[in-house]
Amino acid sequence: MRQQRSADYAEFASARAGHLYRSACLLTAGDTHLAEDLVQETFGRLYVRWGRVSRAENPAAYAQTVLTRTFLAHRRLRSSRERATDTFPDLPGAGDGDAPLRLTLMAALARLPAKDRAVVVLRYWEDRSVEQTADVLNVSSAAVRTRCVRALGRLRELLGEDLHEFSRP
Amino acid sequence: MPENQHEDPFENRFATALRDTGDGFRAGDPAALVTGGQVRGRRKQLLRRTAVLGGITGVALVGVGGTLLLPSDVHDPRRTSAAAGPASTADPSAASPSPAESFSRDDMLRSLKELMPQGTYSEEEAQGTGSTMPPYARLVFDDGEGAAALGLSVDRMDPGGEQAAQWTTCPDKKIVAYDDCTSATQPDGSRLMLLRGYEYPDRRVDTKWWNAELVTPDGVHVTLSEWNAPAQKDAPVSRPQPPLSAGQLKEVVTADVWKRVAAAMPQSPKPSATGEAPPEGRPSGAIAKTLMGLLPENLKVTGRSGPGGEYAYLVVDDGKGGSLVQINVQAGMSDLAGELFKDAEKLPDGTLVTTQESPGEKAGKDVVMWTADTLRPDGLRVVISAFNTPAQHEDATRDTPALTLAQLREIALSTEWDAGA
């Protein structure tokens, strides 16, 4: 029984590890060490609740929800640093190949409050609807819209309206 | 409009850039993430049991077995400020003879080894004081009689609080079987519990688990556990007893070095002195409770949300069927004044108010949502919506919500919300 549980967990986790790690990298604005930590913590929580996870309609979405909440719980521990700051270092120049793209975007994401960043990642990376995002974050849809508007406004300021060099042809 | 298509060209460009960037991240060792998760999961299962052992519901902190898991509210400054209350006579973060000192991972291991009897060490793991997570050290110790897992962690807590009392009080034998437990106040005022028990409460494997818990008058909490096996679970018993006697456990946890470690831990952020509520600063369930107190008397509450930070919902019934009412109470939202309250009514005290009747946000047929949105001059936003259905994604079950726009407005403007901020 226990062996089967472990095997099922391992199969699921192996299939999802890459994607969850990428999500975690975006949530942490490129802090890959923290991202690894968050993914392990997420898997730990999933392991404990494996019975429920395996019966969930969409275990992958469930895992993403746990990751997001784990991230926000982590950020709450460091809430004094959570607020966006104007003293962040200058953004790297855009358009010099892939590395600057990543750095520029990550630096811009890092300037968003954690919850706004979570909204952005869920909406634009996970393609979740406003309502789904609201469910993950346990807030109202109105709050998600508000945060999204605010976050995009800030990103527009930081990245420039054009973002031209980042878009695919 | 499909969710992943956006009207705003910037939104589209950003989404593309985000996906490209996200796709560029590659986990160095995905298998390690999976295994690491499994290890943490098993330890969480232990934590749950330990929570029962300590008499603590829902929260527990054990620094053994490699990765220390911190219940999110132990270090939450808001939780601390609410929970500590007037009973808190000492500031746990003030237990600092030398705040500039820091302890690395190696320092933690060395400090533990210096307190141990002669022997060899393996499988060493530790975390220093540079992290937001509490410091710990764990290792497998062998004094020649057999390898034994041993772990120590340091944390801070309110020394006068309920949690401190629970950690240092012997559990009821009816709940947890153990051979021996003592709990006593030390000459310096610290509380110390020494327990000799078993890894598995049902004794299906005879792994012994011995544990010392110390809470000093300054709020330093030291936890030490040891086993008579090289791992706390899933390893054969290697010796009749764990290596350190009760007296030796006491010697290790009461060593001064752990007070210095606690002093070197990052300070918990203090609650804002300006009175501005931090996001999610309200106690769990407070919003739903306040909302219930503000409802008209003819409404019966038939459902409610679980504990949430800044959001709550209720299902109310005025005799014509269930009506969902959801509310958000968010601090620090002044920057929205321009976007959401452009045409708002401005009250004499500067509060902005809008009311709106709109279609429901989810799939339910004929669902309407009535909303009152308010923004105080201090940035506190209270937005409340009521629906003509008990669940947004279900079809309308009644003509209108159970609350009128005027009632919603009155609830949103209640001074009760300011009191909670």
Largest CA distance in chain A: 56
What proportion of chain B, given as a percentage, has pLDDT over 90? 24
Average predicted confidence (pLDDT) for chain B: 75
Mean of pLDDT values over B326-345: 75
Q: Which of A24-28, B250-254, B391-395 shows the lowest mean pLDDT across its residues? A: B391-395
**Predicted structure pTM score:** 0.41
User: Quick one: chain B helix, strand, coil %, rounded to 5?
Assistant: 25, 25, 50
Which of left, alpha, beta for B399 (phi over 0: left; psi -120 to 50: alpha)? alpha
Residue of A nearest to B75 (CA): A77
pLDDT digits (tens, 9 = 90+) for B22-35: 998 888 888 888 88
A99 pLDDT tier (thresholds 50, 70, 90): low
Asked whether residue B70 carries a pLDDT value surpassing 50, the answer given is no
Mean pLDDT score, A69-93: 52
The predicted pLDDT at position B107 comes to 94
Run of H or E including B328: strand B322-330
B343, B354 Cβ separation under 8 angstroms: yes
Which residues are registered as beta bridge partners of B374?
B353, B382
- CA-to-CA separations, B137 to A82, B60, B197, in angstroms, rounded: 29, 18, 21
Residue B269 pLDDT class (50, 70, 90 cuts): very low
Q: What is the mean pLDDT of residues B74-80?
A: 30
Give the ipTM of the model, two decimals please: 0.86
Query: Which residue in the set B4, B19, B34 is minimally distant from A14, CB to CB?
Result: B34
Amino acid at B383: V
CA distance B319 to chain A (A): 26
CA B223, CA B164: separation in Å to the nearest integer?
12
Contacts of A42 in chain B (CB under 8 A): 37
Taking a C-beta distance cutoff of 8 angstroms, is the pair B141, B150 a contact?
yes
Mean pLDDT, to the nearest integer, of B240-251?
Answer: 95
Contacts of A68 in chain B (CB under 8 A): none
Rounded CA separation B55/B135 (Å): 23
Task: Report the interhelical angle of A2-27 vs B30-53 (nearest 10°).
Answer: 110
Task: Answer whether B220's CB lies under 8 Å from B259's CB.
Answer: yes
Given a contact cutoff of 8 angstroms between Cβ atoms, the answer to whether B130 and B104 are in contact is yes
Nearest chain B CA: its distance from A62 CA (Å) = 16
- pLDDT score for B117: 94
Determine the average pLDDT of the residues in B346-357. Answer: 89
| pLDDT grade for B416, boundaries at 50, 70 and 90 | confident
Q: How far is CA A40 from CA A12, A106, B48, in A?
A: 13, 22, 18
Query: Using DSSP, how many helices (H) and how many strands (E) does chain A show?
Result: 8, 0
Residue type, B375: L
Q: Cα–chain-centroid distance for residue A38?
A: 10
Report how far residue B14's alpha carbon sits from residue A168's, in angstroms, rounded to the nearest whole number: 11
| Rounded distance between C-alpha atoms, residue A111 and residue A115, angstroms | 11
- Structural contact between residues A120 and A112, judged by C-beta atoms closer than 8 angstroms: yes
Structure tokens of B165? 């009392």
| Interatomic CA distance for residues B388 and B366, integer angstroms | 9
Mean pLDDT value across residues B90-107? 60
* CA of A3 vs chain B CAs: smallest distance (Å): 12
Query: Cα distance from B60 to chain A (closest Cα, Å)?
Result: 15
The residue in chain A having the minimum alpha-carbon distance to the alpha carbon of residue B369 is A142
pLDDT digits (tens, 9 = 90+) for A105-131: 888 898 898 899 999 999 999 999 999
Query: At residue B67, does pLDDT exceed 50?
Result: no
| The residue count for chain A | 169
In this predicted structure, what is the pLDDT of residue B279? 34
| Residue A7 pLDDT | 80
* A79–B38 CB contact, under 8 Å: no
Average the pLDDT over each of A85-89, A155-159, B247-251 and give the range with the smallest value.
Answer: A85-89
Averaging pLDDT over each range in A17-31, A62-76, B160-174, which range is the top one? A17-31
* B110-137 confidence digits (pLDDT tens): 999 999 999 999 988 888 887 756 788 8
Pairwise CA distance, residues A124 & B149, whole Å: 46
Share of chain B above pLDDT 70, in %: 70
Quick check: A140 and B339 CB within 8 A?
A: no
Confidence of residue B38 (pLDDT cuts 50, 70, 90): confident
pLDDT at B79 exceeding the cut of 60: no
Estimate the share of chain A in helix, then strand, then coil, as percent rounded to the nearest 5. Answer: 75, 0, 25
Task: Tell me the average pLDDT across B260-282.
Answer: 52
Q: How would residue A4 be classed by pLDDT, with cut points 50, 70 and 90?
A: confident
Residues of A in contact with B4 (CB under 8 A): 127
Nearest CA-CA distance, residue A162 and chain B, Å: 7
Cβ distance of A146 and B340 shorter than 8 Å: yes
In terms of DSSP bridges, do strands B322-330 and B191-198 run parallel, antiparallel, or are they unpaired? unpaired
Q: Which amino acid is at A26?
A: L
Average of per-residue pLDDT across B302-311: 64
- Whether residue B393 has pLDDT greater than 60: yes
Query: Residue A9: is its pLDDT beyond 60?
Result: yes
pLDDT given for residue B366 in this prediction:
85
Indicate left, alpha or beta for A127 from its phi (over 0: left) and psi (-120 to 50: alpha): left
Return the number of CB contacts < 8 Å for A and B. Answer: 192
Most confident of A91-100, B6-15, B180-189, B284-293: B180-189
**How many residues are recorded in chain B?**
421
If one counts every other C-beta atom within 10 angstroms of the C-beta of residue B255, the result is: 18
pLDDT at B18 over 80: yes
Decide: helix, strand or coil at residue B178: strand
Most A-contacting residue of B14, B45, B356 (CB-CB within 10 A), to test interface: B14
Give the mean pLDDT of chain A: 79
